[in-house]
Amino acid sequence: MTKEEVAEILDDIATLLELQGENPFRANAYRNGARAVKNLPGDLGEMVRQGQLTHVPGIGSTLREQIASLVTTGRLPFYDELKASVPQGALQMLRLPGIGPKKVRALQQAGITDLEQLQQACQKGQVAAMKGFGEKTQQKILEGLAFLGEVGQRVRIDQATPIGQRLLQAVRSFPTVIRAELAGSLRRRRETCKDIDIVCSGDDAHAILQAFASRSEVRQVVGLGDTKCSVILEEVVDGHRIVINADLRVVTDEQFPAALVYFTGSKEFNIQLRRRALARGWSLNEYELNDGRRAIPLRHEADLFAALDLDFIPPELREDTGEIDAADRTTAPRSARLPRLIEVQDIRGVFHNHTTYSDGAATLEEMAHAARQLGFEYLGIADHSQSLTVARGLSPERVRQQLADIDALNRKFRGFKLLKGCEVDILVDGRLDYPDDLLAEFDYVVASVHTHFGLSEEQMTERICRAVRHPLVSMLGHATGRLLLRREGYRVNLDRVLQAASEAGTMIEINAQPTRLELDWHYCKRAKSLGIPLVINPDAHSVGELNYYVYGVDVARRGWLEADDVFNTRSLQEVQKAFRTQRKP
């Protein structure tokens, strides 16, 4: 069982305990445990066997035993019993806005155990009559039922970003607004967002909130108070209708720095920051940092960090995975420091891109032109290999033709070069889809899994490790095959894959397609610690998709990567040299 699966079960247990009306702190302990497991460095099975879970904060004796049971037997009787005692419908009710564990419990005790019964009870007016409920709650449930599956779903970052940017510009243009910034997961550049958070400072909060609530893209005003407005937006992005929540919070300009930190989160990061303030007898909330006598004057976010003896922590790192310790100015000698994160302009080229030769929409020439427009020094072409017929994978003859075309084009370029690569399929047994003599003709080779997703974890891990160890493979393509919000990745032990890559000197791709965004940032951090170079690749199938590399930079930043950790920050010469030396005879 993978770390992710174990973490999900612990998280489920937390939810089930809440639904049972258990002590909320006990439930929270399971959520913390889930997070701790997810962030563990290394192979969970190995750590359990070695007894290394003993010193992990957030995992005590009970969780340790339960995790061991899950890892060694794949089962946890406690979880099974808990699951059996809570009706499936209860979990679905939790997805309704405004409905939490307490209300679900009340409904269950009234004999309403699934969504269908809930709808009927609301229509008959029975829910409004229950203690603690009322007309409005009943109406809200009915509205929630109508939009279930639409509102409250997470949205990909490439879809949320343009909506957030437009909204932010609008807020900045409202009269009396002084400062405004995106906050929340969008500012932390998470792969997906549940809502769009904006914080602003201004003199007339009422007018600002009114202007926000009256925007044309607002479908519904969910809440409107003195300092805060919550709406549901409906917008079309790239031809897709997106429904997403948006919150605006208005504070005074003196409060803005503390508010921005607070609403940027993450929640776990905020808790740690607040604990740090408490530890010195201070207090921190969304308005101010107070030393017990007065609010400490803050002009910018960095002032708040400095007041707590911390270096400025970039939003992408605020996940409570060690960034506060790394930023701590009081520990001497500094054991760990915050990384100087990679930036978009550090990228000099990308390696995994398709053309009309296989399933791309643009020709070699068009792709090269677009890459030069982006200021790249080089562009790697890596079309699909022969067995991937659905993507018009290239036969050896066709791909040799492509290599000749690239040579011809390169003779025309000054200060720019097309690099010759391929995205070779990793066959079901871990062999590659081209013979070695052909692979040796490329400048570099990306190896990816596109078929047989249903293998067991053991088989898939072996399959990928074998490809990663192949002396002609330069980098592993999209490491787990996940499609965000649509498909889980295949079952694979990534810790073993990383180990194999580290030993073989094989690089690993950060696939910057916003539908994929893997290697997941948790593992980027781990890859870095193993000395594996990461490669940001847009996996572009058209000219426009070359721009996706910026989302790969987001992932890299969340994974603590510096420019030196990412292969495509190197110059053309360095890249070519590295590819050559990677292939030891």
Partner DNA sequence: GCCGTTTTCGGCCCGACTGTTTTCAGTCG
State the nearest-atom distance from the C-beta of 283 to DNA, in Å: 6
CA angle 455, 479, 10 (to 5 degrees): 75
Looking at beta carbons only, is 126 or 285 nearer to DNA? Answer: 285
DSSP state, 152?
A: T
Query: Site for DNA (CB under 7 A): which residue of 1, 7, 9, 29?
Result: 29
179 is an interface residue for DNA by CB under 7 A? no
State the nearest-atom distance from the C-beta of 352 to DNA, in Å: 35
> Which stretch in 51-59, 458-466, 481-489, 561-569 sits in contact with DNA by CB under 7 A?
51-59
Other CB atoms within a 10 A radius of the CB of residue 408 amount to 10
136 is an interface residue for DNA by CB under 7 A? yes
Q: How far lies 27's CA from each of 18, 23, 31, 82, 91, in Å?
A: 6, 7, 7, 13, 15
Looking at beta carbons only, is 15 or 568 nearer to DNA? Answer: 15
Distance CA 283, CA 49 (A): 42
State the nearest-atom distance from the C-beta of 157 to DNA, in Å: 17
Looking at beta carbons only, is 35 or 348 nearer to DNA? Answer: 35
247 is an interface residue for DNA by CB under 7 A? yes
263 is an interface residue for DNA by CB under 7 A? yes
Burial 213-248 (b: 16+ CB within 10 A, else e): beeebbeeebeeeebebbbbbbbebeeeebbbbbbb
CA angle 167, 170, 174 (to 5 degrees): 140
Looking at beta carbons only, is 99 or 361 nearer to DNA? Answer: 99
Among 175, 183, 167, 147, which Cα is nearest to 216's?
A: 167
Distance CA 35, CA 308 (A): 25
Looking at beta carbons only, is 107 or 371 nearer to DNA? Answer: 107
State the nearest-atom distance from the C-beta of 391 to DNA, in Å: 39
For the chain, counts of helices (H) and of strands (E): 24, 16
Distance CA 493, CA 43 (A): 8
Distance CA 2, CA 54 (A): 19
Query: Site for DNA (CB under 7 A): which residue of 218, 224, 295, 361?
Result: 224
47 backbone dihedrals φ, ψ, rounded to 5°: -65, -40
- What the block records as the tokens of 134 is 């009322």
DSSP state, 332?
A: S
DSSP SS3 for 159: helix
Site string for DNA, 180-219 (x = CB under 7 A): ----x---------xx-x----------------------
135 is an interface residue for DNA by CB under 7 A? yes
State the nearest-atom distance from the C-beta of 424 to DNA, in Å: 44
With contact defined as beta carbons under 8 Å apart, do 107 and 118 qualify?
Answer: yes
Site string for DNA, 52-81 (x = CB under 7 A): ----xxxxxxxxx-----------------
Query: Site for DNA (CB under 7 A): which residue of 2, 108, 113, 138?
Result: 138
State the nearest-atom distance from the C-beta of 264 to DNA, in Å: 10
544 is an interface residue for DNA by CB under 7 A? no
Helix/strand/coil (H/E/C) assignment for every residue in 198-223: EEEEECCHHHHHHHHHCCCCEEEEEE
25 is an interface residue for DNA by CB under 7 A? yes
89 is an interface residue for DNA by CB under 7 A? no
Q: For tokens 């203690």, name the residue.
A: 131
372 is an interface residue for DNA by CB under 7 A? no
With contact defined as beta carbons under 8 Å apart, do 479 and 496 qualify?
Answer: no
Looking at beta carbons only, is 184 or 360 nearer to DNA? Answer: 184
- What the block records as the tokens of 99 is 């409905």
Other CB atoms within a 10 A radius of the CB of residue 333 amount to 4
> Which stretch in 262-270, 308-316, 434-442, 550-558 sits in contact with DNA by CB under 7 A?
262-270
137 is an interface residue for DNA by CB under 7 A? yes
30 is an interface residue for DNA by CB under 7 A? yes
With contact defined as beta carbons under 8 Å apart, do 194 and 277 qualify?
Answer: no
State the nearest-atom distance from the C-beta of 222 to DNA, in Å: 7
Q: How far lies 132's CA from each of 15, 145, 265, 383, in Å?
A: 21, 19, 31, 61
State the nearest-atom distance from the C-beta of 43 to DNA, in Å: 21
Q: For tokens 């492509």, name the residue.
A: 402
Query: Site for DNA (CB under 7 A): which residue of 172, 179, 274, 452?
Result: 274
Query: Site for DNA (CB under 7 A): which residue of 226, 238, 397, 437?
Result: 226
Query: Site for DNA (CB under 7 A): which residue of 69, 227, 459, 547?
Result: 227
Angle between helical axes of 256-264 and 267-279 (0-180°, round to 10): 130
State the nearest-atom distance from the C-beta of 378 to DNA, in Å: 42
State the nearest-atom distance from the C-beta of 560 to DNA, in Å: 23
Size of the site for DNA (CB under 7 A): 59
With contact defined as beta carbons under 8 Å apart, do 200 and 167 qualify?
Answer: no
Query: Site for DNA (CB under 7 A): which residue of 15, 108, 159, 245?
Result: 245
Distance CA 258, CA 305 (A): 10
Query: Site for DNA (CB under 7 A): which residue of 49, 75, 240, 275?
Result: 275
Looking at beta carbons only, is 128 or 237 nearer to DNA? Answer: 128
Among 302, 308, 314, 301, which Cα is nearest to 329's?
A: 308
Looking at beta carbons only, is 98 or 544 nearer to DNA? Answer: 98
State the nearest-atom distance from the C-beta of 538 to DNA, in Å: 31
State the nearest-atom distance from the C-beta of 122 to DNA, in Å: 11
Binding residues for DNA, per CB under 7 A? 23, 25-26, 28-30, 32-33, 56-64, 96-104, 128, 131-138, 140, 184, 194-195, 197, 223-228, 245, 247, 263, 265, 267, 270-271, 274-275, 278, 283, 285-286
